[in-house]
């Protein structure tokens, strides 16, 4: 266009204004704007725009280290609200002051600030360009950090402080929207929500009261948690906006409860598998029976896995962890023992009461008549040396044996003695004599425990014996029991010397189908149909598989 003349023509006039600018200013003035208002507005606008540009230059100089790696230009610079001259200078002064102080001292300050406001390290890393590992080590352990990097860190800290105080004060003014959109531009997404310790405490307490709160209750919890979080940050409880991405909402509370419920169910499931794993755990280093049934090995490995996961899951689970560690393991056995003193006696007299089971740990090789008790208790798997009757007592296992208050009785099966090598023969025989298939089965029917026994016991202990080993569990725990109540007897010693009626396979299969006749030598204890779970053998086989999907990776999480 024909701009040249225009430019020249417009070039005269007021000092530094171009003709058009002048025109525009006049237009503005003519549009009803008072001069003062115009000047004020101009000042504000200038600050905004100027700060963006001014800060860019600031950053380029003083904080280039901060963003230098990311970008010298200002991609991260969004602090349009800052007054370039005053604010920037003030902040730089504060940073310098921090740099003078002891780095570790300042690190503690920064770290505690981050904890107080539940800020993720990721945010710091993104906006400072520091290495996340280095940052973590510096803040937590005092690993030295060079001054330039510390300056970047402190700058972020100062900036964040002003940001947060702005958030808190501007909340009512709706400035938040500006902040948020700025933030989005900054990182493309908000910080991931994180539960603060104060909120979690409130939630766990509520969880104890009721696992499934209604919407109203959830909303009440939302209020409570937000109040607590604000207090933690030293702010009035009504300044919710300052919480930013860590604001507790009803959806988040809902998800939290859903996740806890899933976790608990998972722990229950794992607890069932504990005996298996404990068995193998305790038997490491012990001769785990030269010839355990394959199933036994399998289940052992299964338990190992489940145990491992149990441990890890219980380790992670803060609130629930305590619950997991219930000392059920030995107690039920004790009760059982007490209750069934007689049985062993009746059987064979030489069978000591189950209470001695605990001493079974040291049984291996002992020639004394250790109670040939198979603790159909969840926790115990003991391995008796060569005889390899494994009944593990895993007191260390964090298992919830008492699922919902479950066991009523755990009765040990006092097979034991016979299984042990020679010394146990008489007992074995006695035991054998007692077994009647029907009775056995009958007992077994009630015995939701998986027992693995490798056969010494041809005709397995009589029903009387078995009844001792009955595990009577609540129906709701049956399901768990099917996994948990695996008392395995690994009889390694050869049966020949012991039994008249050789038991080919003393393995107690976890099957819900009807057992083979005992006389054939196989003891099969079936976790009865009471089991809510499916086929017990399936449990074994599938437990590893089960565990994985069961792992609360399916936890609900909010979309950010």
Partner 1 sequence: MEEREHILPMIRNAQWVEVVGRDAIYKEFLFKDFNQAFGFMSRVALQAEKMDHHPEWFNVYNKVQITLSTHECGGISQRDITLATFIDQASVY
Least Å from the CB of residue 15 to partner 1: 16
Which residue, 6 or 85, has its beta carbon nearer to partner 1? 6
Q: What are the residues whose beta carbons fall under 8 Å from the beta carbon of 56, sequence distance 6 or more?
A: 73, 74, 77
Check binding of 89 to partner 1 (CB under 8 A). Answer: no
Least Å from the CB of residue 27 to partner 1: 4
Q: Decide: helix, strand or coil at residue 488.
A: strand
Q: What are the residues whose beta carbons fall under 8 Å from the beta carbon of 514, sequence distance 6 or more?
A: 441, 526
Least Å from the CB of residue 181 to partner 1: 25
Span interacting with partner 1, options 13-21, 43-51, 185-193, 293-301, rule CB under 8 A = 13-21
Which residue, 3 or 188, has its beta carbon nearer to partner 1? 3
Check binding of 362 to partner 1 (CB under 8 A). Answer: no
Span interacting with partner 1, options 5-13, 311-319, 516-524, 549-557, rule CB under 8 A = 5-13
Q: From the list 14, 23, 284, 422, which residue makes contact with partner 1 (rule: CB under 8 A)? A: 23
Check binding of 14 to partner 1 (CB under 8 A). Answer: no
Secondary structure element (H or E) that encloses residue 302, with its range: helix 294-316
Q: From the list 14, 15, 16, 27, which residue makes contact with partner 1 (rule: CB under 8 A)? A: 27
Least Å from the CB of residue 30 to partner 1: 5
Interface size with partner 1, residues (CB under 8 A): 19
Pairing of strands 471-472, 486-489: unpaired
Q: From the list 15, 16, 30, 507, which residue makes contact with partner 1 (rule: CB under 8 A)? A: 30
Name the residue among 164, 167, 189 with its Cα closest to residue 176.
Answer: 167
Q: From the list 14, 20, 265, 349, which residue makes contact with partner 1 (rule: CB under 8 A)? A: 20
Which residue, 22 or 94, has its beta carbon nearer to partner 1? 22
Check binding of 216 to partner 1 (CB under 8 A). Answer: no
Which residue, 27 or 529, has its beta carbon nearer to partner 1? 27
- The answer to whether the beta carbons of residues 484 and 473 sit under 8 Å apart is no
**Region class of 526: left (phi > 0), else alpha (psi between -120 and 50), else beta:** beta
Check binding of 18 to partner 1 (CB under 8 A). Answer: yes
What are the tokens at 53? 């540009």
Name the residue among 256, 301, 65, 197 with its Cα closest to residue 309.
Answer: 301
Check binding of 558 to partner 1 (CB under 8 A). Answer: no
What is the distance between the alpha carbons of residues 61 and 129, in angstroms, rounded to a whole number?
16
Name the residue among 82, 544, 40, 558 with its Cα closest to residue 272.
Answer: 544
Query: How many helices and strands (H and E) does the chain possess?
Result: 22, 4
Check binding of 24 to partner 1 (CB under 8 A). Answer: yes
Q: From the list 14, 26, 211, 475, which residue makes contact with partner 1 (rule: CB under 8 A)? A: 26
- Alpha helices, DSSP H only, in 403-555? 425-434, 437-446, 463-468, 475-484, 536-550
Which residue, 28 or 339, has its beta carbon nearer to partner 1? 28
Span interacting with partner 1, options 24-32, 396-404, 449-457, 478-486, rule CB under 8 A = 24-32
Name the residue among 311, 304, 283, 217 with its Cα closest to residue 256.
Answer: 217
Span interacting with partner 1, options 21-29, 63-71, 150-158, 475-483, rule CB under 8 A = 21-29
Look-up of token digits 């380029």: 60
What are the tokens at 18? 């171009």
- The answer to whether the beta carbons of residues 424 and 493 sit under 8 Å apart is no
Q: What are the residues whose beta carbons fall under 8 Å from the beta carbon of 8, sequence distance 6 or more?
A: none
Which residue, 10 or 517, has its beta carbon nearer to partner 1? 10
Among positions 32-61, residues that touch partner 1 (CB under 8 A) are 32
Pairing of strands 409-410, 471-472: antiparallel
Residues that bind partner 1 (CB under 8 A): 1-3, 5-6, 9-10, 18-20, 22-24, 26-28, 30-32
């Amino acid at each position: 266009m024909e701009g040249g003349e225009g430019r020249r023509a417009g070039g005269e006039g007021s000092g530094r204004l171009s003709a058009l600018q002048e025109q525009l200013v006049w237009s503005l003035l003519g549009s009803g704007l008072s001069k003062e208002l115009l000047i004020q507005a101009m000042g504000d606008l200038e600050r905004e725009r100027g700060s963006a540009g001014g800060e860019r230059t600031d950053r380029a100089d003083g904080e280039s280290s901060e963003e230098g790696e990311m970008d010298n230009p200002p991609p991260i610079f969004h602090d349009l609200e800052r007054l370039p001259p005053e604010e920037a200078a003030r902040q730089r002064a504060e940073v310098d002051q921090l740099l003078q102080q002891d780095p570790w001292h300042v690190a503690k300050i920064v770290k505690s600030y981050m904890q107080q406001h539940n800020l993720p390290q990721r945010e710091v890393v993104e906006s400072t360009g520091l290495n996340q590992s280095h940052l973590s080590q510096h803040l937590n352990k005092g690993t030295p950090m060079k001054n330039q990097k510390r300056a970047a860190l402190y700058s972020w800290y100062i900036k964040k402080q002003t940001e947060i105080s702005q958030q808190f004060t501007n909340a009512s003014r709706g400035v938040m929207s500006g902040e948020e959109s700025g933030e989005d531009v900054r990182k493309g997404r908000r910080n991931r929500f994180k539960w603060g310790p104060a909120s979690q405490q409130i939630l766990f307490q509520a969880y104890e009261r009721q696992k499934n709160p209604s919407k109203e209750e959830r909303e009440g919890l939302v209020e409570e948690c937000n109040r607590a979080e604000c207090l933690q940050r030293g702010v009035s409880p009504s300044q919710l906006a300052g919480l930013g991405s860590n604001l507790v909402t009803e959806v988040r509370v809902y998800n939290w409860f859903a996740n806890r419920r899933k976790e608990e169910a998972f722990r229950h499931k794992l607890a069932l598998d504990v005996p298996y794993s404990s068995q193998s755990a305790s038997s490491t280093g012990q001769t785990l029976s030269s010839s355990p049934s394959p199933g036994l090995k399998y289940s052992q490995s299964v338990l190992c896995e489940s145990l491992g996961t149990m441990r890890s899951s219980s380790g992670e689970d803060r609130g629930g962890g305590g619950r997991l560690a219930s000392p059920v393991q030995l107690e039920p056995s004790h009760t059982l023992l007490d209750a069934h003193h007689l049985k062993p006696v009746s059987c064979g007299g030489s069978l000591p009461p189950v209470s001695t089971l605990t001493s079974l740990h040291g049984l291996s090789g002992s020639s004394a008549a250790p109670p040939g008790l198979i603790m159909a208790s969840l926790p115990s798997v003991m391995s008796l040396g060569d005889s390899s009757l494994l009944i593990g007592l895993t007191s260390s296992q964090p298992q919830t044996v008492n699922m919902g208050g479950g066991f009523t009785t755990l009765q040990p099966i006092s097979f034991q003695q016979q299984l042990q090598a020679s010394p146990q023969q008489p007992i074995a025989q006695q035991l054998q004599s007692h077994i009647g298939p029907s009775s056995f089965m009958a007992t077994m029917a009630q015995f939701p425990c998986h027992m693995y026994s490798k056969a010494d016991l041809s005709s397995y202990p009589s029903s009387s014996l078995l009844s001792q080993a009955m595990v009577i569990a609540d129906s709701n725990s049956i399901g768990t029991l099917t996994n948990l109540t695996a008392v395995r007897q690994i009889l390694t010693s050869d049966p020949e010397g012991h039994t008249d009626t050789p038991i080919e396979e003393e393995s107690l299969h976890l099957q819900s189908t009807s057992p083979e006749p005992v006389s054939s030598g196989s003891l099969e204890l079936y976790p009865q149909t009471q089991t809510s779970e499916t086929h017990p053998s399936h449990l074994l086989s599938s437990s590893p598989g089960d565990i994985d999907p069961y792992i609360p990776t399916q936890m609900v999480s909010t979309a950010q």
